[in-house]
Amino acid sequence: MSRQDQRRVSLVIDGEDTGVWDMKTGGMMDSEESKFRPGGMAEQVTLGGSQNLENLPVSRLFVLRRDLPRIKGWYNRAGKASVVAVEQYLDTDGRRFGDPLSYSGILKSVTAPEHDSESNDPAMVEVEVSLAGPVA
């Protein structure tokens, strides 16, 4: 059994380790499907299809000293920067458990924290990775 908090997700953007990120969604592997029904009332046959990886949005608390110097560079590298995301599972004591999942792709988008003068909510920064290949 495991909880959602028992993972460590880190990103390397254009070769720079950006540290640990707080939330990850997406990254689902899906596939096209192709089915064929043969003549003579034979049972339908599934032929499989090409694989499609869903984009991988990750976000974290915006820390001024850590993230403000980087965010302009991330904005300017959207659609260009190479990204490697590593998701390491952790046991209940926070120790590494098993082999990590490694995703690679291109930085698709960057979202700076929202502003609201009436809010005390955490300021979050988000990047989205357009995944390219198989999960290693």
CATH of the domain at 99: 2.30.110
Query: Is 23 inside any structural domain?
Result: yes
Query: Is 1 inside any structural domain?
Result: no
Q: What is the pLDDT of residue 28?
A: 85
Rounded Cα distance, 131 and 49, in Å? 18
Query: Is 59 inside any structural domain?
Result: yes
Q: Which two tokens stand for residue 63?
A: 């820390």
Query: Is 66 inside any structural domain?
Result: yes
Query: Is 2 inside any structural domain?
Result: no
DSSP 8-state symbol, 99: P
List pLDDT tens digits, range 84-133: 999 999 999 999 999 999 999 999 999 999 999 999 999 999 999 999 87
Query: Is 88 inside any structural domain?
Result: yes
Report the domain count for the chain: 1
Contacts of 16 (CB under 8 A, 6+ apart): 70
What's the predicted TM-score (pTM) here?
0.85
Query: Is 13 inside any structural domain?
Result: yes
Rounded Cα distance, 85 and 90, in Å? 16
Q: What is the pLDDT of residue 125?
A: 98
List pLDDT tens digits, range 46-85: 999 888 889 999 999 999 999 999 999 999 999 999 999 9
